[in-house]
Amino acid sequence: MEVLAVRPKLGKLPLLFPEIFVTFYQTRPYDVDNAYSAAKALVDALKVKIYGNQRGAGVIADDDAKHLKTYRVEVVKVKKIMEEKTTIRIVE
Residue 1 has pLDDT above 60, yes or no: no
Residue 50 has pLDDT above 70, yes or no: no
Handedness of CA 62, 20, 82, 79 (dihedral sign): positive
The mean per-residue pLDDT over the stretch 66-86 comes to 97
Looking at residue 75, its amino acid is: V
Predicted pLDDT at 28: 97
8 A C-beta contact, residue 86 and residue 22 = yes
Q: Are strands 85-91 and 19-26 parallel, antiparallel or unpaired?
A: antiparallel
Q: How far is CA 89 from CA 24, 79, 80, in A?
A: 12, 23, 23
Above pLDDT 70, what percent of the chain?
Answer: 84
Per-domain boundaries in the chain: 3-91
The mean per-residue pLDDT over the stretch 46-67 comes to 84
Residue 70 has pLDDT above 70, yes or no: yes
When the pLDDT of each residue in the chain is averaged and rounded to a whole number, the result is: 89
